[in-house]
């Protein structure tokens, strides 16, 4: 009858295993527009067996109409990390000497989270030196802040020098996906064993991301 309408949007979170989400993330939103953008992320993912039902009803200033038939929303994680640079070249290192990337020459690995969720990043590396044991303190890494993007990861990350290993180990915990803090540096240290013969050496470092929430 030409009345101005307002709307009420209802989002309810459920588990595919039964029952609602705990803690709750149910939302009842009043709006005067036919379109609405949520100000806070919907935090429950179908990857973790959660989904949302949403419905809406209108009010003409006198009373509400019926709720619309609920529709289901599945929110799936996008896990996507980028590594830059992809190569660290230490040049010539004398026997018994060490070099690392903490001063930026050469630059450390920087991992950026281009996905839509917090991620954990695991690291492994192939053997670098031909002599001595592996893993050892001759080949190490540590996690640190990228300038301007402080607070991008959990302090549970490996922020102290840690031996590389051929087995995957979680290095970065809960790397954020927000544009202003979604990057983290991985510094690398090499120390040439005293028994190492001369020659070129290389190692392949692998970064593997997984859902971190």
- Residue 95's pLDDT is 95
Kindly report, residue by residue over 37-83, the tens digit of the pLDDT.
Answer: 998 889 899 999 999 999 999 999 999 999 999 999 999 999 999 99
Average pLDDT over every residue of 135-143: 98
DSSP 77-133: ----EEEE-S--------TT-EEESTTSSSPPEEEEE-SSS-EEEEEEE----SSS-
pLDDT bracket for residue 3 (50, 70, 90):
confident
d(CA 154, CA 170): 12
- Residue 67's pLDDT is 97
Quote the DSSP letter at residue 151: T
Q: How many CA atoms lie within 13 A of 84 on its CB side?
A: 7
- Residue 47's pLDDT is 96
d(CA 139, CA 165): 9
pLDDT bracket for residue 125 (50, 70, 90):
very high
Average confidence score pLDDT of the chain: 96
| CB burial of residue 211 (10 Å; 0-12, 13-18, 19+) | middle
Per DSSP (E only), the strands in the chain are 6-15, 27-31, 50-59, 71-73, 81-84, 98-100, 109-113, 119-125, 139-145, 162-163, 169-175, 183-191, 205-211
């Amino acid at each position: 009858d030409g009345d101005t309408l307002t709307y009420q949007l209802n989002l309810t979170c459920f588990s595919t295993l039964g029952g609602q989400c705990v803690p709750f993330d149910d939302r009842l939103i009043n709006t005067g527009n036919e379109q609405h953008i949520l100000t806070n992320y919907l935090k429950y993912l179908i990857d973790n067996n959660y989904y949302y039902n949403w419905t809406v009803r209108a009010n003409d200033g006198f009373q509400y109409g019926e709720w619309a038939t609920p529709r289901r929303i599945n929110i799936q994680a996008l896990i996507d990390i980028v590594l830059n640079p992809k190569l660290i070249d230490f040049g010539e290192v004398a026997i018994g000497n060490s070099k690392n990337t903490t001063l930026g020459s050469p630059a450390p690995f920087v991992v950026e989270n281009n996905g839509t969720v917090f991620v954990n990043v695991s690291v492994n590396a192939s053997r670098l030196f031909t002599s001595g044991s592996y893993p050892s303190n001759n080949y190490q890494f540590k996690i640190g802040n990228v300038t301007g993007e402080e607070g991008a990861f959990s302090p549970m990350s490996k922020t102290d020098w840690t031996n590389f290993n051929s087995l995957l180990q979680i290095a970065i915990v809960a790397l954020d996906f927000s544009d202003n803090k979604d990057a983290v540096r991985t510094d690398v240290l090499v120390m040439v064993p005293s028994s190492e013969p001369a020659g070129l050496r290389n190692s392949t470092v692998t970064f593997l991301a997984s859902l971190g929430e």
